[in-house]
């Protein structure tokens, strides 16, 4: 969305045509202003070139693409909450059933997919399914966007093959761990809701679904958070993640709000020096 927005517009058209859909809605967090602006420019250019809109690409098929900026609520990552927000309502999950495939956006059958999935469709169409399946190992094929942050020399987001070793991913793209690999304490492989991998497992674990399940964690969002030995993983890490849950939209569920607030208070007691 930031550097190649036309790829996503093309992916929307491919996916829409395959499903017989008449419109695609790209929902983007409100904080990502530049990305939303770039996407809107790309959408306007695609309309002007006749790639989307009435008689898209001269095919006789009408297809529209709309961009919608959300307000940043964490809960809107859940598909029905996203649909509620898209319709102009408060972003809260719907009761299911009915499922979006039956009754979705504005009462129409709807498929909700990550833009990462949609954007790769044009490349697969051009190069073929065998090309995509050549990456990764059995049951874990294809590519994945990895966001690497924390105590690394070069935090980044990179597209890599599935099943790449975690150590290779960090050292090749993120410049390695600050203080060197031996200074590594642990890694959260898939966002703050996935269990930590200790250093002993990080040496050999593969970044795919099966490899991380074997390591008793999961791929999650592929947001790789690296922690070296200067990080207090139990206290500062726990406090940070509980704060994220407390303020980012878990307030939708009353008991989650109360329990997270209580946990943050307990962690603050641990972090307060004794006089």
DSSP letters spanning 18-51: HHT-SEEEEEE-TT-HHHHHHHHHHHHHHHHHTS
> Over the stretch 152-211, which tens digit does the pLDDT of each residue have?
999 999 999 999 999 999 999 999 999 999 999 999 999 888 999 999 999 999 999 999
User: Is position 134 within any domain?
Assistant: no
Q: Are residues 238 and 222 in the same domain?
A: no
Contacts of residue 170, defined as CB under 8 A and 6 or more positions apart, other chains included, come to 148, 152, 176, 177, 187, 224, 226
- Quickly state the pLDDT bin for 142 (edges 50, 70, 90): very high
- Measured CA to CA, the distance from residue 6 to residue 269 in angstroms comes to 50
**Does the residue 96 lie in any domain?**
yes
- Per-residue pLDDT, averaged over 211-235, amounts to 89
Task: Tell me the mean pLDDT in the region 211-217.
Answer: 96
Query: Are 77 and 91 in the same domain?
Result: yes
224 in any annotated domain: yes
Number of structural domains the chain divides into? 3
Residue 235 binned pLDDT confidence (cut-offs 50, 70, 90): low
Q: Is 143 found in the same domain as 181? A: yes
The residue segments making up the domain with residue 28 are 5-129
- Give pLDDT tens digits for 82-134: 999 999 999 999 999 999 999 999 999 999 999 999 999 999 999 999 999 99
Domain for residue 68, yes or no? yes
Q: Are residues 119 and 200 in the same domain?
A: no
Does residue 211 share a domain with residue 122?
A: no
193 & 111 share domain: no
CATH number for 220: 3.10.20.600
Q: How confident is the model at residue 232 (pLDDT cuts 50, 70, 90)?
A: confident
Q: Which CATH number belongs to the domain containing residue 87 in this structure?
A: 3.40.50.11540
* Of 263, 260, 233, nearest in space to 249 by CA: 260
185 and 77 together in one domain: no
Residues 145 and 59 in one domain: no
- Residue 34 in domain: yes
- Long-range interactions of 197-204: CB distance < 8 A, separation 24+: 197/166, 202/166, 202/167, 203/167, 204/165, 204/167
| pLDDT reading at 224 higher than 80 | yes
Question: What is the per-residue pLDDT across 21-65, written as a single tens digit (0 to 9) for each?
Answer: 999 999 999 899 999 999 999 999 999 999 999 999 999 999 999
pLDDT for the residue 28: 96
When the pLDDT of each residue in the chain is averaged and rounded to a whole number, the result is 89
Q: Is residue 212 part of a domain?
A: yes
pLDDT band at 151 (very low <50, low <70, confident <90, very high): very high
Same domain, yes or no, for 117 and 216? no
Report the pLDDT value the prediction gives residue 275, as an integer from 0 to 100.
Answer: 47
Query: Is residue 98 reached through a cis peptide bond, with omega within 30 degrees of 0 on the bond before it?
Result: yes
Separation in Å, CA 82 to CA 41, 71, 220: 23, 11, 19
pTM of the model: 0.82
Average pLDDT for 216-227: 94
User: For residues 93 and 75, is the Cβ–Cβ distance under 8 A?
Assistant: yes
- Both 224 and 239 in one domain: the answer is no
**156 and 217 assigned to the same domain:** yes
| Residues 122 and 143 grouped into a single domain | no
């Amino acid at each position: 969305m930031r550097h190649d927005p036309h790829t996503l517009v093309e992916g929307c058209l491919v996916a829409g045509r395959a499903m017989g859909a008449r419109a695609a809605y790209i929902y983007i967090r409100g904080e990502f202003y530049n990305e939303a602006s770039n996407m809107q420019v790309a959408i306007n250019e695609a309309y002007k070139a006749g790639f989307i809109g009435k008689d898209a690409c001269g095919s006789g098929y009408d297809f529209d693409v709309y961009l919608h900026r959300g307000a940043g609520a964490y809960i809107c990552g859940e598909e029905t909450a996203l649909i509620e927000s898209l319709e102009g309502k408060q972003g809260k999950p719907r009761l299911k059933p009915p499922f979006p495939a039956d009754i979705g956006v504005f009462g129409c059958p709807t498929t909700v997919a990550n833009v990462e999935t949609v954007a790769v469709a044009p490349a697969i169409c051009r190069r073929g399914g065998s090309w995509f399946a050549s990456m990764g190992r059995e049951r874990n094929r294809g590519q994945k966007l990895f966001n690497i942050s924390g105590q690394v020399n070069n935090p980044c987001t990179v597209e890599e093959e599935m099943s790449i070793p975690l150590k290779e991913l960090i050292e090749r793209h993120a410049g390695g761990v600050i203080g060197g690999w031996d200074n590594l304490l642990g890694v959260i492989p898939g966002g703050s809701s996935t269990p930590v991998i200790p250093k002993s497992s990080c040496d050999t674990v593969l970044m795919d679904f099966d490899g991380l399940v074997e390591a008793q964690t999961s791929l999650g969002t592929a947001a790789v958070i690296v922690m070296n030995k200067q990080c207090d993983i139990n206290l500062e890490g726990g406090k940070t993640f509980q704060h994220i849950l407390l303020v980012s939209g878990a307030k939708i569920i009353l008991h989650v709000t109360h329990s997270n607030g209580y946990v943050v208070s307990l962690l603050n007691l641990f972090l307060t020096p004794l006089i």
